[in-house]
Structure 1
Amino acid sequence: MTRTGAAGSPALPWESRLRDAMETFSVKEAHDLLRGLFKPRMAVYWADFLLSWTLAAAAFWAVGPLGGFTVPGVAAFLVSAFASFRCFAFIHEIAHFRGKKAFGPFRIGWNALFGIPLMIPIFLYECHGEHHNRKWYGTPQDAEYLPLARMAPSNIVGLLITPLFLPFYGPYRFGVLTPLSWFVPRLRTHLYSNVSALKIDFDYRGRQPTAEERWNWRLQEALCALWIAAAATLLAVGVVPLGRLVQWYAMFAFVALVNSLRLLAAHRYIGDEDEMSIVEQMMDTVNHPRARPLAELWAPVGLRLHALHHLMPGLPYHSYPAAHARLVAGLPEGSAYRLTESSGLFASLGRLWKESRSHQRAGTLLDRARPEGTTA
């Protein structure tokens, strides 16, 4: 997806209400309400991740003996997919606590057990800090953002089609391009600029690794390449049946689709590519506090309270329920924080689609009203 047609869009109808609430919101007041909740508890991280990983692996294996097209087999497939999605979501926490020594072993363990085997090593998410930067959030320097509410609905559809192709990304990036880059040094610059970030903005260009990061990134690339070679060998000699590859593709595509739905519901996407303060970021983001058990499936590891995360990005995920309860109880009823709430996934998706359609119609009317021979 690209940002074509995003700038200079008509104002959305509820933006003035958001601005009014923003002017009276105090980040300090909100922070004071959350004292004592900012310390990550590594035992919770390890227990949650390892349990999810074990469940994902066991359910993935169980699909074989149960049969992929039986009711128990389909149930096992869904368990493996949602458990894998929960494992994947921990990359978000790792990105935010990368500087903490306590996260060092967890970072290595997550990469070894999940990141490398799924060909989504941690370095692909080093760009996430830009998504919280006041100068870069919502701009072309933000890999995870497109002003979708100001763009044509076809861009939303595109994000829902992309998951069909994402399972091919890892084998192509690490099984083809990575080995080639060992013999064609110039290719490495292209790799890091264009295909080394988890992004929804295809125009985004990533940075090159620093001197300290270079060998760490290359090690992760090499391990992914070795994993692909080992998997290909096992498939070729028949140790792993071809059906497992098909199952892996289906699981990866399913997880990618659920994540795309989550991404579409996570923000209002009303940015106009200007800088945004922390409060503006929060108000462009969505909380889904209702139906927690169901929301934990499609927005796990704290991602369902995404506005809270953008308000307090240093808050560990296991503190989110308590933090949300404190803010709801301690802030005024008309607080900007309360305006970030949505009743559910489909309500958020419907709102985004409606606003994108409204923008498209408004843009069409402006084009028709513009005198012939003039441009925007």
Structure 2
Amino acid sequence: MATDAARPAPAPVEIPWGPTELAAMRRFDVRQAHRELRGLFRPRMGVYWTDFLLSWVVAVVAFWATGPLGYLTVPGLLAFAVSVLAVFRCFAFIHEIAHFRAKRSFTGFRVGWNVLFGIPMMVPVFMYDCHGEHHNKRLYGTEQDAEYLPLARMSVWSSVRLLVLPVVLPLFGPYRFGVVTPVSWVVPRVRSYLYHNLSSLKIDLEYQGRLPRDDEKWNWRLQELACLAWMAGVLTLVLTGAVSVNRLWQWAALFATVAVLNSFRLLAAHRYLGNEEEMTVVEQMMDTVNHPRNRPLTELWAPVGLRLHALHHLMPGLPYHNYGEAHRRLVAALPEDSAYRLTESPGMIASLSRLVRESRGHQKAGTLLASRPERGIGTKERAAS
């Protein structure tokens, strides 16, 4: 058997764009696409507040109604399903906040969302500050992107794990804010672990977050304290009998269901063909998926504009309420064989099926990654020979 030193280096693993895709990518003009969308880049805060507050009210009412209707009755289960979808829509606004946090007009919305939703769900806004890396031309799809794994080059079970792990996520908030956070206030050594490992919304579990900057320390700590106070308040209400323990189980089931639904959305949002090297804006767009069909249904599992994810990666500064108009303009202005049109998928099932096929294709070709790549080694050098 040949030793590792004697084994020949594997052939480079390139992103498997087909001839049609490559030709379309070469022709695609990002500047022309941008010109077609003039006048659509200004967020309307009235739309944000109305959408979020209506979704929040529906979520609260449906969550409360589940108890009186009966947790395991048909009406109770329907109310629970409504609460899941409404909470999921509320949660999706953190994505818009991450993109527009520098705008002064978003300051009030950021605070309002955090107080009404982020803190109670123990997902404060600072935990999504890492999202900018997912749109950075140098970092998208690399090991510094918390929201990306080369899943099309990995075992299908790597994708399945992303659907299973969210089941235990209801434990994350109590552990992060109820245990590690107070310990980190008195043990500085724990603080590094807290911010590097437990302070980013991510699918790459090996991703290392950053410490807060000097101007962020007290803001982050205040949000942590608010989450801890919320937990203490809820626990007090349960221990005194003011709130039934069944509500805690309901919240855990709600959180887990929303997390699983979001994992399905994440798997359908990209093709995950990257090899952990830089991609151009057009390559990022082609590695991302639009789901323009059947909007009423698609909005349920990909809310707040996330159904047109390729459009979002092409134009990350576009507010979600203008996605529909932007998509119509691009479809009308660009030829049918445009690279933008090639990002379309009929639906979630079709996108998930393609991810499975591409993963199995790499397995048959012998280029499947045996496990998550180790840090500091390029994917091209890690591909199985």
Using the size of structure 1 for normalisation, the TM-score is 0.94
Structure-1 residue corresponding to 2:117? 114
- Per-residue CA deviation, residues 112-135 of structure 1 (Å, 9 max, x unaligned), is 000000000000000000000000
- Per-residue CA deviation, residues 70-120 of structure 1 (Å, 9 max, x unaligned), is 111111000000000000000000000011000000000000000000000
Going from structure 1 to structure 2, the CA distance change for 1:192 and 1:78 (only over 3 Å counts) comes to same
Secondary structure in 2 aligned to 1:139?
Answer: coil
- Between 209-218 and 43-52, the greater mean CA deviation after superposition: 209-218
From 139, 151, 155, give the equivalent of 1:152.
155
From 191, 196, 200, give the equivalent of 2:199.
196
Structure-1 residue corresponding to 2:331? 328
- Per-residue CA deviation, residues 35-64 of structure 1 (Å, 9 max, x unaligned), is 000000000000000000000000000001
From 288, 292, 297, give the equivalent of 1:294.
297
Structure-2 residue corresponding to 1:4? none
Structure-1 residue corresponding to 2:138? 135
CA distance in 1 between counterparts of 2:14 and 2:188 reads 47
Unaligned runs of 5+ in 2: 1-9, 371-383
Going from structure 1 to structure 2, the CA distance change for 1:88 and 1:34 (only over 3 Å counts) comes to same
Structure-2 residue corresponding to 1:265? 268
Structure-2 residue corresponding to 1:230? 233
Structure-1 residue corresponding to 2:90? 87
Number of aligned residue pairs: 363
CA distance in 1 between counterparts of 2:301 and 2:147 reads 18
CA distance in 1 between counterparts of 2:339 and 2:15 reads 17
CA distance in 1 between counterparts of 2:262 and 2:64 reads 23
Going from structure 1 to structure 2, the CA distance change for 1:223 and 1:9 (only over 3 Å counts) comes to farther
From 209, 223, 248, give the equivalent of 2:212.
209
Residue 124 (structure 1) aligned with residue 118 (structure 2): no
CA distance in 1 between counterparts of 2:66 and 2:325 reads 37
- Per-residue CA deviation, residues 232-269 of structure 1 (Å, 9 max, x unaligned), is 11111111111111111111111001100000000000
From 10, 30, 35, give the equivalent of 2:38.
35
- Per-residue CA deviation, residues 145-192 of structure 1 (Å, 9 max, x unaligned), is 001001111100100101111111111000000011111011111111
Structure-2 residue corresponding to 1:26? 29
Residue 244 (structure 1) aligned with residue 247 (structure 2): yes
CA distance in 2 between counterparts of 1:316 and 1:286 reads 18
Q: Say if 2:156 and 2:360, in contact at 8 Å, map to a contact too.
A: yes
Structure-1 residue corresponding to 2:287? 284
CA distance in 1 between counterparts of 2:368 and 2:220 reads 49
- Per-residue CA deviation, residues 176-210 of structure 1 (Å, 9 max, x unaligned), is 00011111011111111111000000110011111
Structure-2 residue corresponding to 1:341? 344
1:364 offset after TM fit, Å? 7.2
Unaligned runs of 5+ in 1: 1-6, 368-374
1:18 offset after TM fit, Å? 2.2
CA distance in 1 between counterparts of 2:208 and 2:215 reads 20
* 2:302 maps to amino acid: A
CA distance in 2 between counterparts of 1:366 and 1:231 reads 44
Going from structure 1 to structure 2, the CA distance change for 1:355 and 1:365 (only over 3 Å counts) comes to closer
CA distance in 2 between counterparts of 1:83 and 1:15 reads 39
Structure-1 residue corresponding to 2:373? none
1:229 offset after TM fit, Å? 1.0
Structure-2 residue corresponding to 1:312? 315
RMSD between aligned alpha carbons? 1.7
* 1:313 maps to amino acid: P
Q: Say if 2:59 and 2:86, in contact at 8 Å, map to a contact too.
A: yes
Q: Say if 1:10 and 1:359, in contact at 8 Å, map to a contact too.
A: no
Going from structure 1 to structure 2, the CA distance change for 1:366 and 1:66 (only over 3 Å counts) comes to closer
Structure-2 residue corresponding to 1:221? 224
Secondary structure in 2 aligned to 1:295?
Answer: helix
1:13 offset after TM fit, Å? 5.2
CA distance in 2 between counterparts of 1:16 and 1:120 reads 43
* 2:254 maps to amino acid: M
Structure-1 residue corresponding to 2:3? none
Secondary structure in 2 aligned to 1:256?
Answer: helix
Secondary structure in 2 aligned to 1:346?
Answer: helix
Secondary structure in 1 aligned to 2:97?
Answer: helix
Q: Say if 1:9 and 1:150, in contact at 8 Å, map to a contact too.
A: no
Going from structure 1 to structure 2, the CA distance change for 1:354 and 1:9 (only over 3 Å counts) comes to farther
Identity %: 65
Residue 105 (structure 1) aligned with residue 131 (structure 2): no
- Between 45-54 and 231-240, the greater mean CA deviation after superposition: 231-240
Going from structure 1 to structure 2, the CA distance change for 1:331 and 1:364 (only over 3 Å counts) comes to closer
1:9 offset after TM fit, Å? 7.2
* 2:313 maps to amino acid: H
* 2:250 maps to amino acid: Q
CA distance in 2 between counterparts of 1:281 and 1:120 reads 27
